[in-house]
Amino acid sequence: MPISWNRTQYVAIVALIVSMVIWSFSGIAIKHALLVLPPFTMIVMRFVPSVVIMFLIGIVKRNHSLFCLQRIELRDLPLFLIAGFCQPFLYYLLETYTYNALCSPTIAETLLSTSPLLSPLFAAVLLRERVTRNNIIGIVISTAGVFALSLVGNSNYSIGSYWGILLAFAAVSAAVVDSVMMRKAPLKYSSLTFVFYTQLISLCFFLPIWFWREGPAALNALDWSQLDSIHSPLSVGLFSVAYLTVFASITAYILYCYAIRQVGVTQANAFNNIRPAFTALWMFLLFGEHLPFGKWMGIALIVFGLFVCQKQEKVSKF
């Protein structure tokens, strides 16, 4: 059966792919930033400029439907509070403890990539969203590709603390709840409005922890003289934070928010499976990391699974 999409859906699919390409490089950027910056300092340096930039965009583009910045009505405030608490705040905390609790970073990354598996459940229960047989089959195929991509060539299959598994699924659940809140947000709010307020709320949770754990002393401890060279670790780290701010926190998040309101939680979250594939390709193209045949097969399964997931059906709910 041919795929039947309208123009809006095509735009949403392109927005999803662009956001996933951007986010697929975020892990590499975070790794470089954390070489010179403490974790909460990096987060604050990422989201403070992000919130300020979005505020300025909202003022300049006040008549643009996608980028205008609106006031939140009091009755909608709980929705934004839940979204801001879940992601990035709660997700980032749970993600950090997941990596600490599990022996293998590869296992952790694989478990943290399972949001498409939980999305149909959350979408059906909380949104009454239509979930088709093709959605389920495509997500399963694509997730199998993620496991193949992540585990092929990895010799460390030890798990570590089983609490790590629970933390990983708690982190994934927080991310999916954030997606549900995006979908539930009234359409009168622009994508920039949703992203701006959720990141501002998250920042309000992060700042007290930053002051408690690291604070301004972390900034004073940096060797700012390294900025004389653009190739110094600090310069690379700050360029990485700038990438995370402009592209990962603003551009990709606004595109993702727009897309999820067009195609729904289940179909949009299915695209999270291509993030590990793009990351593998970045590592191959930029750093010469070897990709064995099994990993290429994993990438092929991910792409095929996404194709199946987006295929329209005449027959109904699963």
Q: What is the total count of domains within the chain?
A: 1
Does the pLDDT of residue 101 top 80, yes or no?
no
Tell me which residue range forms the domain holding 69. 7-310
pLDDT score for 257: 93
Nearest to 309 by CA among 139, 143, 146, 145: 139
Would residue 2 count as lying in a domain? Answer: no
What digits encode the pLDDT tens for the residues 172-228?
899 999 999 998 988 889 999 999 999 999 999 999 999 999 999 999 999 998 998
Give the C-alpha separation, 201 to 221, whole Å. 28
Domain-located, residue 44: yes
**What global pTM score does this model have?**
0.85
Residue reference for tokens 């193209």: 285
Output 252 or 314, whichever has higher pLDDT.
Answer: 252
> Residue 252: inside a domain, yes or no?
yes
pLDDT of residue 310: 67
Rg of the chain in Å (alpha carbons): 20
Q: Vertex 142, ends 277 and 90: CA angle to 5°?
A: 75
Assigned domain for 1 exists: no
C-alpha distances in angstroms, 240 versus 16, 43, 89?
22, 12, 20
Contact 172, 115 (CB under 8 A): yes
Instruction: Answer whether residue 161 is part of any domain.
Output: yes
Across 135-149, average pLDDT: 80
Residue 129 in any domain: the answer is yes
Kindly state whether residue 147 falls inside one of the protein's structural domains.
yes
Residue 316 lies in a domain: no
Q: What's the chain's average pLDDT? A: 84
Q: What is the structure's pLDDT at 268?
A: 86
**Proportion of the chain above pLDDT 90, given as a percent:** 36
